[in-house]
A and B are shown apart, each in its own frame.
Chain A
Amino acid sequence: MTATVLPIALALFSLSLLLNLYRLLRGPDIVDRILGLDTLNVNAIAVIVLGGIYMDSSLIFEAALLIALMGFVSTVAMTKYLVRGDVIE
């Protein structure tokens, strides 16, 4: 049953990646773009995890962990730059 559900879940996550890309490219304000990029990161983690199930190997979870770390750090850096005008004070 998982084998039939897995492509459907991948398709749904790809659709949500496209919606996030739409917000990232169009967003009227810079905060919209940051929000779209952050959601894109979170959904990309899920796509990588589903790909790991599909290939039946947990090797690419390292990439998912790296994306989780870097996505959070970049979001914090961008919002901190917007609020403070400087990243490292």
Chain B
Amino acid sequence: MMGESMALPFWLDALIALLLLSGALVALLGSIGLARMPDVYMRLHGPTKASTLGVGATLLGSMIWFGVGHEGLSAQEILITVFLFATAPVSAHMMARAALHRRVACREGTHGEPWDEMDRLPGYAESSSSSDNQR
């Protein structure tokens, strides 16, 4: 399975190992943030930033691993990386907007309400005032 990895030079092997390990640690950090943070708006911070970086580092290590001497760099890996980096902010933005629209309760001690800024947008307050009784 992995017996022929001796063909790699040592520094490249160490670089791949470092990328894989740091990527896994960063992704685990993001998931711990997802599981431990107190409310939705804080929970959005963990995975949407850290997990993208962690999976990006893992994909970079995999690209080096396959690019040097094994099967050659495959197009799928580049596509996955580009697609992941392009869509992660979009989905995070849409989830944050859904949370603001539903007026999900935030932690006690928050200064102001998270959706105050959204109500100040022109034309938004009327359209979402029907969801006031969901609080």
Contact = CB atoms under 8 A, between A and B. Distances in A.
Nearest to A30: B102
Contacts of A68: 80, 83-84, 87
Interface of A: 1-6, 8-10, 12-13, 15-17, 19-20, 22-23, 29-32, 34-36, 38-39, 42-43, 45-46, 49-50, 52-58, 61-62, 64-65, 68-69, 72, 75-76, 79-80, 82-83
A2 B74 contact: no
Interface string B62-86: 1001100011001011011001100
Given A19-B31, A61-B77, A64-B76, A3 B2 contact: yes
B121 interface: no
A49 B99 contact: no
Interface string B3-27: 0110010100110110011011101
Nearest to B21: A5
Contacts of B88: 42
Contact of B102 (A4, A6, A16, A82): A82
How would you classify the secondary structure of chain B's contact residues: helix, strand, loop or mixed?
helix
How would you classify the secondary structure of chain A's contact residues: helix, strand, loop or mixed?
helix
Contact of B2 (A17, A56, A76): A56
A45 B27 contact: no
User: 8 nearest interchain CB pairs?
Assistant: A16-B31, A12-B24, A61-B76, A39-B47, A9-B24, A5-B17, A79-B94, A19-B31
Contacts of A38: 47, 91, 95
B58, B62, B98, B102: residue with the most chain A Cβ atoms closer than 10 Å: B98
Given A31-B104, A49-B77, A39 B31 contact: yes
A31 B35 contact: no
A20 B21 CA distance: 19
Given A13-B27, A23-B35, A43 B102 contact: no
A14 to B, nearest CB: 10
